[in-house]
Chains A and B, each alone.
Chain A
């Protein structure tokens, strides 16, 4: 099976700033991948490169196509929601459906209409009359009705309240995702969606800090919570990050076994959010 996205040494400079510094990763079909990084880490630049919205150096194939030269063909198979604000404010809901139906060979208006019937959105409304949450629902309705193989979501729920966010991800999982589709998602609210991911890519300063399947994380990373007086001895095993919680110490290890660590305290697999913080802070302190 060909990888859905195959990046090899992708670089991008904005003037003297190096936004992507030799990024390499591979995403298989049927995965939900979280692209996670601090602000300015290069997430959006990476997505833009994948979507053919920017020039870049290095090798990048998306669904076997080069986004630089085969963008139009690529867009038949790829959907993206870049930000909630991108639907034009003058557009009517009915016009949005008509337009996408008129230009997209894989769009099924019946699916979009069915989805919209479950919301408070009226066909005659203009986008400017809709609340932010409703605009996202409309965009999601359009995207879900497209039979795409890769869905790219860049902060899709930014600025939405909890109910809309929950609803958004539930719909995505239940009505859309299947083993042939791939979803690439960036978000700041990692805790909220970490159960969703099958894979994570951490990106920092334009470099890939981690690229792993979630089920691998347990064997690669360990979080050890131990009493403060045990800490000096545990430090000999070289945690890449540690922090204090209520007088106890949490240490994060890579590639240690339960046999090595178990004696010091409580051992578990770190959550993606914790691992992200540990990775980013740990790299920064070195």
Chain B
């Protein structure tokens, strides 16, 4: 195609040494940066959460009953890993909401403010544009949040250690590099499986975002609410409800998360024990996970086609 252009006539002042195309990688990096310029919640919200959690570790107090304390005292390493997990949870939950909202908004926003014509005036394909948005929602944000959680944990730990050193709080956590690493590994795997399992949801959100003329939140949630209600009224069955529940939570069952026994009557176990308990191989080879990824490809392809050919600007 480039040769066709060159054959007709070289552009005015065009420099032969200057490539006609930029590297895909460079374009992709630019596209990803642009998403963070526009959707500032993607990086602001996680930072605010880290700030709030850090503040709570600095001034917070946890009331512990005496018999609890005995149990806790018996497994300080397990407690370390549980605290590590609990402090990271608000960040992960926030990023799920922020990321979902982003995917639902990104293709709608460019049509709402009519900037789509500006983006389309540049030599970036619709596939690459939508692909960059999917990359942000499914890779950059989740794994960026994982990295942020890792750094944030160092901050929280430093704050707690300082408080212990100041005699502000008693020492109940015992540092264990092994358990810390194993907990991070569990969180990484949970992030990975969440991304793989929720990919079709991301594709669905992108499709709705590319499609609807207004109120994307309404259009995205309406079928999920109305469908099961209508099914229940008409047939008295709940297949749709159990299907959407499965597409949201199913992966944890496949992983065998129900067999986890971190906090029980008999004591605490390190989060890292999940590495032995969870069925990683079974989850990776689960047909439903791969069917979901295939559905993602179809949904994203549909979103690309809609962005390419819709004509209401």
A75 to B116, CA, bound (A): 14
In the assembled complex, the CB of B175 is this many whole angstroms from the nearest CB of chain A, namely 43
Chain B residues near A55 (CB-CB < 8 A): 309, 311
In the assembled complex, the CB of A14 is this many whole angstroms from the nearest CB of chain B, namely 8
A219 to B160, CA, bound (A): 90
In the assembled complex, the CB of A212 is this many whole angstroms from the nearest CB of chain B, namely 24
Chain A residues near B122 (CB-CB < 8 A): 75, 100, 103-104
B31 lies within 8 A of A103 (CB): yes
Interface residue A235 (Cβ < 8 Å from any Cβ of B)? no
Interface residue B125 (Cβ < 8 Å from any Cβ of A)? yes
Q: In the complex, identify which listed stretch (A64-72, A185-193, A221-229, A270-278) lies at the interface while the others stay far away.
A: A64-72
Interface residue B20 (Cβ < 8 Å from any Cβ of A)? yes
Q: How does the 8 Å CB contact mask read for B2-42 relative to A, with 1 for contact and 0 for none?
A: 10110111011110001111100011011101100110000
A86 lies within 8 A of B115 (CB): yes
A106 lies within 8 A of B11 (CB): yes
Interface residue A178 (Cβ < 8 Å from any Cβ of B)? yes
B12 lies within 8 A of A64 (CB): no
In the assembled complex, the CB of B36 is this many whole angstroms from the nearest CB of chain A, namely 10
B9 lies within 8 A of A29 (CB): yes
Interface residue A99 (Cβ < 8 Å from any Cβ of B)? yes
Interface residue B236 (Cβ < 8 Å from any Cβ of A)? no
Q: How does the 8 Å CB contact mask read for B95-133 relative to A, with 1 for contact and 0 for none?
A: 000000000000000100111111011111100000000
B123 lies within 8 A of A75 (CB): yes
In the assembled complex, the CB of A214 is this many whole angstroms from the nearest CB of chain B, namely 22
Chain A residues near B37 (CB-CB < 8 A): 90-92, 95
Chain A residues near B125 (CB-CB < 8 A): 71-72
B12 lies within 8 A of A102 (CB): no
A139 to B20, CA, bound (A): 22
Query: With A85-B114, A147-B12 in contact, do A90 and B38 touch (Cβ < 8 Å)?
Result: yes
Question: Which residue of chain A has the shortest Cβ distance to B128 in the bound complex?
Answer: A72
In the assembled complex, the CB of B26 is this many whole angstroms from the nearest CB of chain A, namely 6
Interface residue B313 (Cβ < 8 Å from any Cβ of A)? yes
Q: How does the 8 Å CB contact mask read for A96-133 relative to B, with 1 for contact and 0 for none?
A: 00111011111000000000000000000000000000
B117 lies within 8 A of A147 (CB): no
In the assembled complex, the CB of B18 is this many whole angstroms from the nearest CB of chain A, namely 7
Question: Which residue of chain B has the shortest Cβ distance to A78 in the bound complex?
Answer: B121
Interface residue B166 (Cβ < 8 Å from any Cβ of A)? no
Chain A residues near B11 (CB-CB < 8 A): 77, 106, 147-149, 180
A88 lies within 8 A of B118 (CB): yes
A2 lies within 8 A of B8 (CB): yes
Query: With A90-B38, A106-B11, A147-B11 in contact, do A65 and B5 touch (Cβ < 8 Å)?
Result: yes
Interface residue B234 (Cβ < 8 Å from any Cβ of A)? no
A91 to B21, CA, bound (A): 24
Chain A residues near B2 (CB-CB < 8 A): 73
8 Å CB interface, B206-254 against A? none
Interface residue B1 (Cβ < 8 Å from any Cβ of A)? yes
8 Å CB interface, A172-188 against B? 178, 180-181
A54 lies within 8 A of B311 (CB): yes
A29 to B13, CA, bound (A): 15
Interface residue A48 (Cβ < 8 Å from any Cβ of B)? yes
Q: Name the residue in B4, B115, B120, B123 with the highest tally of chain A Cβ atoms < 10 Å from its Cβ.
A: B123
Interface residue A79 (Cβ < 8 Å from any Cβ of B)? yes
B5 lies within 8 A of A104 (CB): no
In the assembled complex, the CB of A124 is this many whole angstroms from the nearest CB of chain B, namely 13
A103 to B118, CA, bound (A): 13
Interface residue A213 (Cβ < 8 Å from any Cβ of B)? no
Question: Which residue of chain A has the shortest Cβ distance to B125 in the bound complex?
Answer: A72
8 Å CB interface, B267-313 against A? 308-309, 311, 313
B123 lies within 8 A of A103 (CB): yes
Query: With A72-B123, A91-B37 in contact, do A149 and B12 touch (Cβ < 8 Å)?
Result: yes
B22 lies within 8 A of A64 (CB): no
Q: Which of A54, A75, A178 lies in contact with B121, CB distance below 8 A?
A: A75
Chain A residues near B5 (CB-CB < 8 A): 63-65, 73, 76-77
Interface residue A87 (Cβ < 8 Å from any Cβ of B)? yes
A181 lies within 8 A of B124 (CB): no
A147 to B113, CA, bound (A): 27
Interface residue A8 (Cβ < 8 Å from any Cβ of B)? no
Chain A residues near B31 (CB-CB < 8 A): 102-103
In the assembled complex, the CB of B177 is this many whole angstroms from the nearest CB of chain A, namely 41
A99 lies within 8 A of B38 (CB): no
In the assembled complex, the CB of A141 is this many whole angstroms from the nearest CB of chain B, namely 13
In the assembled complex, the CB of B236 is this many whole angstroms from the nearest CB of chain A, namely 42
Chain B residues near A100 (CB-CB < 8 A): 122
Interface residue A80 (Cβ < 8 Å from any Cβ of B)? yes
Query: With A77-B11, A180-B9 in contact, do A64 and B4 touch (Cβ < 8 Å)?
Result: yes
Shortest beta-carbon contacts, A-B, top 7: A102-B30, A88-B115, A75-B123, A180-B12, A82-B117, A76-B123, A54-B311
22 contacts between A and B (CB under 8 A): A2-B9, A54-B311, A70-B1, A73-B4, A80-B121, A86-B115, A87-B118, A88-B113, A88-B118, A92-B37, A99-B30, A99-B34, A102-B22, A102-B26, A102-B31, A103-B31, A104-B22, A104-B122, A105-B20, A106-B11, A106-B20, A147-B12
Given contacts A83-B114, A149-B9, 13 further A-B contacts (CB under 8 A): A51-B121, A55-B309, A55-B311, A75-B120, A75-B122, A80-B121, A87-B115, A91-B38, A99-B33, A102-B31, A103-B27, A103-B122, A180-B12
